[in-house]
Amino acid sequence: MTATMKAVLCRQLGPPQGLGIGEIAVPQAGPGQVRIRVDACGINFPDILLVAGRYQDKPPLPFVPGGEVAGVVDQLGAGVTGLRPGQPVMAATMLGGLAEYAIARARDVEERPPALSALEAAAFPGVYGTACHALVQRAQLRAGETLLVLGAAGGTGIAAVQIGRALGARVLAAASGEAKLAFLRSQGADATVDCRTAGLREAVREFTGGRGVDVVFDPVGGELFDQASRCLAWNGRLLVVGFASGTIPRFPVNLALLKGYALVGVYYGRFRDEEPEQAAANMRTLRQLLDAGRIAPPVHRVFALEEAAAALACLQERSVMGKVVVSVRGEALAAGPGRGGSKQ
Protein backbone atom coordinates (compact mmCIF):
# COMPACT_ATOMS: atom_id res chain seq x y z
CA MET A 1 0.00 0.00 0.00
CA THR A 2 1.27 3.54 -0.78
CA ALA A 3 2.09 5.62 2.28
CA THR A 4 0.12 8.63 1.12
CA MET A 5 -3.51 9.14 0.13
CA LYS A 6 -5.83 11.69 -1.44
CA ALA A 7 -7.86 13.71 1.06
CA VAL A 8 -10.05 16.81 1.18
CA LEU A 9 -8.30 19.45 3.30
CA CYS A 10 -9.69 22.37 5.25
CA ARG A 11 -6.66 24.68 5.43
CA GLN A 12 -8.55 27.82 6.53
CA LEU A 13 -11.97 28.26 8.12
CA GLY A 14 -14.74 29.63 5.93
CA PRO A 15 -17.27 28.57 3.29
CA PRO A 16 -17.00 25.09 1.69
CA GLN A 17 -15.56 26.63 -1.50
CA GLY A 18 -12.24 27.02 0.38
CA LEU A 19 -11.76 23.23 0.63
CA GLY A 20 -9.02 21.68 -1.50
CA ILE A 21 -7.58 18.27 -2.35
CA GLY A 22 -4.18 17.26 -0.96
CA GLU A 23 -1.89 14.25 -0.64
CA ILE A 24 -1.27 13.34 3.01
CA ALA A 25 0.06 10.38 5.01
CA VAL A 26 -2.25 7.39 5.40
CA PRO A 27 -3.32 7.39 9.08
CA GLN A 28 -2.45 4.46 11.36
CA ALA A 29 -5.03 2.79 13.62
CA GLY A 30 -4.12 3.35 17.29
CA PRO A 31 -5.30 1.20 20.22
CA GLY A 32 -9.06 0.62 20.05
CA GLN A 33 -9.21 2.11 16.54
CA VAL A 34 -9.96 0.78 13.07
CA ARG A 35 -8.62 2.02 9.73
CA ILE A 36 -11.26 1.92 7.01
CA ARG A 37 -10.58 1.92 3.26
CA VAL A 38 -13.29 4.45 2.43
CA ASP A 39 -15.69 3.89 -0.47
CA ALA A 40 -18.15 6.68 0.31
CA CYS A 41 -18.58 9.53 2.79
CA GLY A 42 -21.96 10.97 3.80
CA ILE A 43 -22.21 14.78 4.03
CA ASN A 44 -23.93 16.30 7.05
CA PHE A 45 -24.77 19.80 8.20
CA PRO A 46 -22.15 19.66 10.99
CA ASP A 47 -19.46 19.36 8.25
CA ILE A 48 -20.40 22.87 7.10
CA LEU A 49 -20.27 24.16 10.67
CA LEU A 50 -16.86 22.52 11.29
CA VAL A 51 -15.36 23.96 8.09
CA ALA A 52 -16.76 27.40 9.00
CA GLY A 53 -15.39 27.18 12.57
CA ARG A 54 -18.94 27.39 13.95
CA TYR A 55 -19.22 23.88 15.46
CA GLN A 56 -18.86 23.12 19.17
CA ASP A 57 -15.61 21.19 18.40
CA LYS A 58 -12.83 23.17 16.73
CA PRO A 59 -10.14 20.84 15.29
CA PRO A 60 -6.69 22.35 14.61
CA LEU A 61 -5.94 23.31 10.98
CA PRO A 62 -5.44 21.73 8.55
CA PHE A 63 -8.01 18.96 9.02
CA VAL A 64 -9.90 16.49 6.85
CA PRO A 65 -13.69 16.84 7.20
CA GLY A 66 -16.15 13.94 6.83
CA GLY A 67 -18.07 12.44 9.73
CA GLU A 68 -19.68 9.30 8.33
CA VAL A 69 -18.20 6.65 6.01
CA ALA A 70 -18.80 3.29 4.39
CA GLY A 71 -15.94 1.07 3.26
CA VAL A 72 -14.03 -2.03 4.32
CA VAL A 73 -11.91 -2.71 7.39
CA ASP A 74 -8.27 -2.20 6.40
CA GLN A 75 -6.30 -2.29 9.69
CA LEU A 76 -7.17 -3.14 13.29
CA GLY A 77 -5.53 -1.24 16.17
CA ALA A 78 -4.35 -3.03 19.32
CA GLY A 79 -7.14 -4.57 21.38
CA VAL A 80 -9.83 -4.47 18.69
CA THR A 81 -11.97 -7.58 18.51
CA GLY A 82 -15.15 -8.51 16.65
CA LEU A 83 -14.07 -6.96 13.32
CA ARG A 84 -11.90 -8.43 10.56
CA PRO A 85 -9.89 -6.99 7.66
CA GLY A 86 -11.93 -6.90 4.46
CA GLN A 87 -15.26 -6.70 6.30
CA PRO A 88 -17.74 -4.19 4.77
CA VAL A 89 -18.58 -1.59 7.41
CA MET A 90 -20.10 1.82 8.05
CA ALA A 91 -18.84 4.16 10.75
CA ALA A 92 -19.14 7.52 12.43
CA THR A 93 -15.73 9.22 12.22
CA MET A 94 -16.56 12.82 13.20
CA LEU A 95 -13.60 13.94 11.02
CA GLY A 96 -11.38 12.41 8.35
CA GLY A 97 -14.03 10.69 6.22
CA LEU A 98 -13.36 12.65 3.01
CA ALA A 99 -10.20 10.67 2.27
CA GLU A 100 -9.14 7.32 0.85
CA TYR A 101 -8.54 5.97 4.38
CA ALA A 102 -10.16 7.07 7.65
CA ILE A 103 -9.83 6.19 11.33
CA ALA A 104 -12.81 5.35 13.56
CA ARG A 105 -13.14 4.14 17.13
CA ALA A 106 -13.95 0.43 17.00
CA ARG A 107 -17.18 1.00 18.90
CA ASP A 108 -18.36 3.44 16.24
CA VAL A 109 -17.93 0.85 13.48
CA GLU A 110 -20.90 -1.29 12.40
CA GLU A 111 -21.07 -4.11 9.92
CA ARG A 112 -22.65 -2.79 6.71
CA PRO A 113 -26.21 -4.19 6.40
CA PRO A 114 -26.51 -6.26 3.21
CA ALA A 115 -29.60 -4.22 2.30
CA LEU A 116 -27.44 -1.10 1.81
CA SER A 117 -25.04 -0.15 -0.99
CA ALA A 118 -21.85 1.65 0.06
CA LEU A 119 -23.45 4.96 -0.95
CA GLU A 120 -26.55 4.29 1.16
CA ALA A 121 -24.53 3.01 4.12
CA ALA A 122 -22.56 6.29 4.13
CA ALA A 123 -25.88 8.11 4.43
CA PHE A 124 -27.19 6.03 7.29
CA PRO A 125 -25.68 5.78 10.79
CA GLY A 126 -25.45 9.47 11.78
CA VAL A 127 -28.88 10.76 10.79
CA TYR A 128 -30.86 7.57 11.49
CA GLY A 129 -29.00 7.14 14.79
CA THR A 130 -29.84 10.74 15.76
CA ALA A 131 -33.51 10.48 14.79
CA CYS A 132 -33.93 7.12 16.53
CA HIS A 133 -32.38 8.39 19.78
CA ALA A 134 -34.49 11.55 19.59
CA LEU A 135 -37.80 9.78 19.02
CA VAL A 136 -37.27 6.67 21.16
CA GLN A 137 -35.26 7.73 24.24
CA ARG A 138 -35.88 11.48 24.32
CA ALA A 139 -39.50 11.79 23.13
CA GLN A 140 -40.66 8.27 24.01
CA LEU A 141 -42.89 8.47 20.94
CA ARG A 142 -45.81 6.03 21.04
CA ALA A 143 -47.91 4.48 18.29
CA GLY A 144 -50.96 6.61 17.55
CA GLU A 145 -49.27 9.89 18.58
CA THR A 146 -48.77 12.81 16.20
CA LEU A 147 -45.30 14.00 15.16
CA LEU A 148 -44.35 17.29 13.46
CA VAL A 149 -40.95 17.12 11.70
CA LEU A 150 -39.31 20.43 10.72
CA GLY A 151 -36.62 20.50 8.00
CA ALA A 152 -38.23 17.20 7.05
CA ALA A 153 -36.56 16.84 3.63
CA GLY A 154 -33.08 17.18 5.18
CA GLY A 155 -30.90 14.38 6.55
CA THR A 156 -32.10 14.10 10.15
CA GLY A 157 -35.60 15.19 9.10
CA ILE A 158 -36.22 12.44 6.56
CA ALA A 159 -34.88 9.87 9.03
CA ALA A 160 -37.35 11.20 11.63
CA VAL A 161 -40.24 10.99 9.14
CA GLN A 162 -39.45 7.36 8.29
CA ILE A 163 -38.75 6.23 11.86
CA GLY A 164 -41.77 8.11 13.21
CA ARG A 165 -43.98 6.29 10.72
CA ALA A 166 -42.34 2.96 11.53
CA LEU A 167 -43.07 3.56 15.24
CA GLY A 168 -46.75 4.05 14.40
CA ALA A 169 -47.00 7.84 14.66
CA ARG A 170 -48.96 10.07 12.25
CA VAL A 171 -46.42 12.41 10.68
CA LEU A 172 -46.82 16.02 9.53
CA ALA A 173 -43.69 16.98 7.55
CA ALA A 174 -42.62 20.63 7.09
CA ALA A 175 -40.25 21.77 4.33
CA SER A 176 -39.76 24.54 1.76
CA GLY A 177 -41.27 24.21 -1.70
CA GLU A 178 -43.61 21.86 -3.55
CA ALA A 179 -40.85 19.55 -4.84
CA LYS A 180 -39.79 18.74 -1.27
CA LEU A 181 -43.39 18.23 -0.18
CA ALA A 182 -43.96 15.73 -3.02
CA PHE A 183 -40.74 13.96 -2.01
CA LEU A 184 -41.95 13.78 1.60
CA ARG A 185 -45.28 12.28 0.58
CA SER A 186 -43.35 9.66 -1.42
CA GLN A 187 -41.42 8.89 1.79
CA GLY A 188 -44.58 8.19 3.78
CA ALA A 189 -45.47 11.53 5.42
CA ASP A 190 -49.20 11.59 6.25
CA ALA A 191 -49.44 15.32 5.54
CA THR A 192 -47.08 18.13 4.54
CA VAL A 193 -46.81 21.86 5.06
CA ASP A 194 -44.79 24.36 3.01
CA CYS A 195 -43.26 26.57 5.68
CA ARG A 196 -42.41 29.25 3.10
CA THR A 197 -46.04 29.89 2.24
CA ALA A 198 -48.24 28.49 5.04
CA GLY A 199 -48.41 28.93 8.80
CA LEU A 200 -47.36 25.98 10.95
CA ARG A 201 -50.02 26.63 13.56
CA GLU A 202 -52.89 26.39 11.10
CA ALA A 203 -51.43 23.24 9.53
CA VAL A 204 -51.04 21.60 12.95
CA ARG A 205 -54.53 22.66 13.99
CA GLU A 206 -55.95 21.01 10.87
CA PHE A 207 -53.77 17.88 11.21
CA THR A 208 -54.66 17.28 14.86
CA GLY A 209 -58.25 18.53 14.98
CA GLY A 210 -57.16 21.50 17.11
CA ARG A 211 -55.43 19.39 19.79
CA GLY A 212 -51.78 20.19 18.93
CA VAL A 213 -48.98 17.71 18.15
CA ASP A 214 -47.56 15.28 20.70
CA VAL A 215 -43.96 15.58 19.50
CA VAL A 216 -42.00 18.17 17.48
CA PHE A 217 -38.63 17.18 15.93
CA ASP A 218 -36.72 20.44 15.30
CA PRO A 219 -33.32 20.46 13.52
CA VAL A 220 -33.91 24.01 12.19
CA GLY A 221 -34.40 26.44 15.12
CA GLY A 222 -34.97 30.16 14.49
CA GLU A 223 -38.40 31.38 13.50
CA LEU A 224 -39.74 27.87 12.84
CA PHE A 225 -38.96 26.88 16.42
CA ASP A 226 -40.93 29.90 17.64
CA GLN A 227 -43.96 28.81 15.61
CA ALA A 228 -43.61 25.15 16.62
CA SER A 229 -43.32 26.02 20.31
CA ARG A 230 -46.96 27.17 20.09
CA CYS A 231 -48.21 23.98 18.43
CA LEU A 232 -47.83 21.37 21.17
CA ALA A 233 -50.51 19.27 22.82
CA TRP A 234 -50.83 18.73 26.57
CA ASN A 235 -47.97 16.37 27.65
CA GLY A 236 -46.14 17.17 24.39
CA ARG A 237 -42.36 16.97 23.83
CA LEU A 238 -40.44 19.56 21.81
CA LEU A 239 -37.13 18.03 20.65
CA VAL A 240 -34.22 20.47 20.23
CA VAL A 241 -32.06 18.75 17.59
CA GLY A 242 -30.21 21.53 15.78
CA PHE A 243 -30.11 25.00 14.31
CA ALA A 244 -29.76 24.70 10.53
CA SER A 245 -31.33 28.19 10.24
CA GLY A 246 -28.26 29.60 12.00
CA THR A 247 -30.35 31.03 14.84
CA ILE A 248 -30.52 29.53 18.32
CA PRO A 249 -34.00 30.50 19.50
CA ARG A 250 -34.86 32.03 22.87
CA PHE A 251 -37.72 30.37 24.65
CA PRO A 252 -40.42 31.96 26.87
CA VAL A 253 -40.62 29.24 29.53
CA ASN A 254 -44.17 30.17 30.50
CA LEU A 255 -45.25 28.41 27.26
CA ALA A 256 -44.07 25.07 28.66
CA LEU A 257 -45.97 25.78 31.89
CA LEU A 258 -49.21 26.88 30.25
CA LYS A 259 -49.33 24.05 27.73
CA GLY A 260 -47.86 21.36 30.01
CA TYR A 261 -45.15 20.24 27.60
CA ALA A 262 -41.43 19.45 27.87
CA LEU A 263 -38.48 20.92 25.98
CA VAL A 264 -36.08 18.03 25.44
CA GLY A 265 -32.46 18.31 24.24
CA VAL A 266 -30.97 15.75 21.85
CA TYR A 267 -27.21 15.16 21.53
CA TYR A 268 -26.50 11.93 19.70
CA GLY A 269 -22.68 12.06 19.95
CA ARG A 270 -22.81 12.41 23.71
CA PHE A 271 -25.52 9.71 23.97
CA ARG A 272 -23.16 7.27 22.20
CA ASP A 273 -20.41 8.08 24.71
CA GLU A 274 -22.64 8.01 27.80
CA GLU A 275 -24.86 5.04 26.86
CA PRO A 276 -22.96 2.87 24.35
CA GLU A 277 -25.09 -0.21 25.06
CA GLN A 278 -28.36 1.64 24.43
CA ALA A 279 -26.84 3.19 21.28
CA ALA A 280 -25.91 -0.31 20.05
CA ALA A 281 -29.44 -1.52 20.82
CA ASN A 282 -30.83 1.38 18.76
CA MET A 283 -28.62 0.35 15.84
CA ARG A 284 -30.02 -3.20 16.08
CA THR A 285 -33.57 -1.78 15.98
CA LEU A 286 -32.67 0.30 12.93
CA ARG A 287 -31.24 -2.75 11.18
CA GLN A 288 -34.48 -4.64 11.78
CA LEU A 289 -36.45 -1.75 10.29
CA LEU A 290 -34.05 -1.68 7.31
CA ASP A 291 -34.35 -5.41 6.75
CA ALA A 292 -38.15 -5.13 6.91
CA GLY A 293 -38.06 -2.34 4.31
CA ARG A 294 -39.65 0.13 6.76
CA ILE A 295 -36.80 2.66 6.46
CA ALA A 296 -34.28 3.37 3.66
CA PRO A 297 -31.81 6.24 3.30
CA PRO A 298 -32.69 8.31 0.21
CA VAL A 299 -29.45 9.30 -1.56
CA HIS A 300 -30.31 12.41 -3.56
CA ARG A 301 -26.97 13.32 -5.15
CA VAL A 302 -23.54 11.75 -5.43
CA PHE A 303 -20.30 13.69 -5.94
CA ALA A 304 -16.69 12.68 -6.63
CA LEU A 305 -14.02 13.40 -3.99
CA GLU A 306 -12.73 16.35 -6.05
CA GLU A 307 -16.27 17.82 -5.87
CA ALA A 308 -16.57 17.68 -2.06
CA ALA A 309 -16.90 21.47 -1.77
CA ALA A 310 -19.93 21.38 -4.08
CA ALA A 311 -21.43 18.56 -2.03
CA LEU A 312 -21.25 20.67 1.15
CA ALA A 313 -22.54 23.73 -0.71
CA CYS A 314 -25.68 21.78 -1.74
CA LEU A 315 -26.71 21.47 1.90
CA GLN A 316 -26.09 25.15 2.48
CA GLU A 317 -28.25 26.02 -0.54
CA ARG A 318 -31.12 23.88 0.84
CA SER A 319 -31.45 22.00 -2.45
CA VAL A 320 -31.10 18.48 -0.99
CA MET A 321 -33.93 15.97 -0.61
CA GLY A 322 -32.54 13.27 1.64
CA LYS A 323 -28.77 12.90 1.68
CA VAL A 324 -25.70 13.92 -0.30
CA VAL A 325 -22.83 11.42 -0.53
CA VAL A 326 -19.26 11.68 -1.83
CA SER A 327 -18.00 8.62 -3.71
CA VAL A 328 -14.36 8.54 -2.62
CA ARG A 329 -12.96 6.03 -5.12
CA GLY A 330 -15.33 6.25 -8.05
CA GLU A 331 -16.16 2.55 -7.71
CA ALA A 332 -19.17 3.27 -5.47
CA LEU A 333 -20.13 6.01 -7.90
CA ALA A 334 -20.08 3.57 -10.80
CA ALA A 335 -22.27 1.13 -8.83
CA GLY A 336 -24.64 3.83 -7.56
CA PRO A 337 -27.14 6.27 -9.00
CA GLY A 338 -24.51 8.30 -10.88
CA ARG A 339 -22.98 11.70 -10.43
CA GLY A 340 -25.54 14.24 -9.39
CA GLY A 341 -28.10 11.51 -10.01
CA SER A 342 -31.06 10.55 -7.91
CA LYS A 343 -32.08 7.27 -6.35
CA GLN A 344 -35.72 8.29 -5.99
Ligand X SMILES: NC(=O)c1ccc[n+]([C@@H]2O[C@H](COP(=O)([O-])OP(=O)(O)OC[C@H]3O[C@@H](n4cnc5c(N)ncnc54)[C@H](OP(=O)(O)O)[C@@H]3O)[C@@H](O)[C@H]2O)c1
For ligand X, the binding residues (CB under 6 A) are 44-46, 49, 127, 130, 151, 153-157, 175-176, 180, 219-220, 241-246, 266-268, 315, 318, 320
CB closer to ligand X, 281 vs 334: 281
Min separation Cβ 136 and ligand X, Å:
14
Min separation Cβ 224 and ligand X, Å:
7
CB closer to ligand X, 164 vs 219: 219
CB closer to ligand X, 5 vs 91: 91
CB closer to ligand X, 5 vs 122: 122
What values do phi and psi take at 318, rounded to 5? 65, 35
Helices (H), the chain: 45-52, 118-121, 125-133, 155-166, 178-186, 200-208, 222-228, 254-259, 268-274, 276-291, 308-316, 331-335
Min separation Cβ 336 and ligand X, Å:
19
Min separation Cβ 176 and ligand X, Å:
4
β-pairing, 299-304 with 213-218?
A: unpaired
Min separation Cβ 241 and ligand X, Å:
5
Within the chain, how many helices (H) and strands (E) appear? 12, 15
CB closer to ligand X, 138 vs 170: 138
Could you write out the DSSP letters of every residue in 110-137?
Answer: EEPPTTS-HHHHTTSHHHHHHHHHIIII
For residue 216, give the nearest of 313, 148, 140, 145 by alpha carbon. Answer: 148
**Residue showing the smallest CB distance to ligand X in the complex:** 154
